[in-house]
């Protein structure tokens, strides 16, 4: 898209650490069985909670 001069817009999605800014239904979309890694759950490799505001997993980096 960039090669065609189409503007690229990135929206940063960062959840509150207590996850009160998302619905219960959305909370389980990424972890339907409840035993895996979902929103706000820190993976064992880097301990950065998934899509949590202020964490490495929700950081915006320069190109």
Residues 16-44, mean pLDDT to the nearest whole number = 76
Give pLDDT tens digits for 19-31.
Answer: 888 887 787 777 7
Distance CA 50, CA 38 (A): 7
Query: Does the pLDDT of residue 42 top 90, yes or no?
Result: no
The end-to-end CA distance of the chain, in Å, is 16
Say if residue 47's pLDDT is above 70: no
Nearest to 51 by CA among 7, 9, 29: 29
d(CA 47, CA 41): 8
Integer Cα distance of 36 and 41 in angstroms: 9
Residue 46 predicted with pLDDT over 70: no
């Amino acid at each position: 898209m960039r090669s065609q001069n189409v503007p690229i817009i990135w929206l940063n999605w960062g959840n509150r650490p207590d996850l009160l800014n998302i619905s219960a239904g959305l909370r389980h979309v990424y972890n339907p069985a409840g035993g895996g890694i979902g929103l706000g759950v820190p993976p064992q490799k880097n301990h950065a909670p998934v899509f949590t505001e202020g964490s490495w997993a929700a950081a915006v980096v320069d190109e």
